Amino acid sequence: MKRLILMRHAKSDWDDPALPDHARPLNRRGRRSAKALGAWLRTEGLVPGEILCSTATRTQETCARLKLPLAPRLLDSLYMAGPQDMLAALRTAHADTVLMIGHNPGIAEFATRLVAAAPEHPRFDDYPTGATLVTDFAIADWAALKEHTGQTRHFVIPRALLDEA
């Protein structure tokens, strides 16, 4: 079995309009959300063996604030990637549990293509910042991954985690 934790970066800062998109950091809410997501992952026992992360500042900062015990593999191909690029990156993974951190709109479409049945959550289709899907696949190697075969285990958004705190 393989498990994917598919996370959209936390809320980014738009205060500096001159800053290139790739360089935008997280805002205060995004920093709190990323910290809450990391705590949730650890509480649920969802610590990945490999992290695939976009090279954008906001994805790297999201990853760092999760406080996970390993460094991400930074991939230019995940910056603003579409579903096909995300699938190609995932097929290169080796760990049984992989965390992938990316961007919308590609990540929302990728999530939809992965699962056999979408979770019953009102925000799944728009995949807001920090949204995180945990889905399992009955495969031995990521290279064998096929669309619409994932079994959803969790879908969470940071607002729900922060409301609980």
**Per-residue pLDDT tens digits for 121-153:** 999 999 999 999 999 999 999 999 999 999 999
Q: Domain with 43 in it: what CATH number?
A: 3.40.50.1240
Cβ-proximal residues to 109 (8 Å cutoff; 6+ apart), any chain: 82, 83
Three-state DSSP state, 108: helix
Task: Report the pLDDT value the prediction gives residue 30, as an integer from 0 to 100.
Answer: 96
* pLDDT of amino acid 126: 92
Residue 15's pLDDT is: 87
Q: Is residue 105 part of a domain?
A: no
Alpha-carbon torsion, ordered 61, 80, 10, 56, to 10 deg? 10
Predicted pLDDT at 164: 62
**Which residue range(s) make up the domain with 156?**
2-100+122-164
**106 found inside a domain:** no
CA 29 to chain centre: 17
Look at residue 109 and tell me if it is in a domain.
no
Q: Looking at the domain assignment, is residue 80 inside a domain?
A: yes
The answer to the question of residue 25 being in a domain is: yes
> CA 65 to CA 3: how far, in whole Å?
21
Instruction: For residue 48, give the nearest of 77, 107, 7, 88 by alpha carbon.
Output: 7
User: Domain total for the chain?
Assistant: 1
The answer to whether position 59 is within a domain reads yes
Residue type, 120: E
Strand, coil or helix: 107: helix
> How many CB atoms are located within 10 Å of the residue 23 CB?
10
Tokens of 122: 């009102």
Task: Point out the residues of the chain with pLDDT beneath 50.
Answer: none
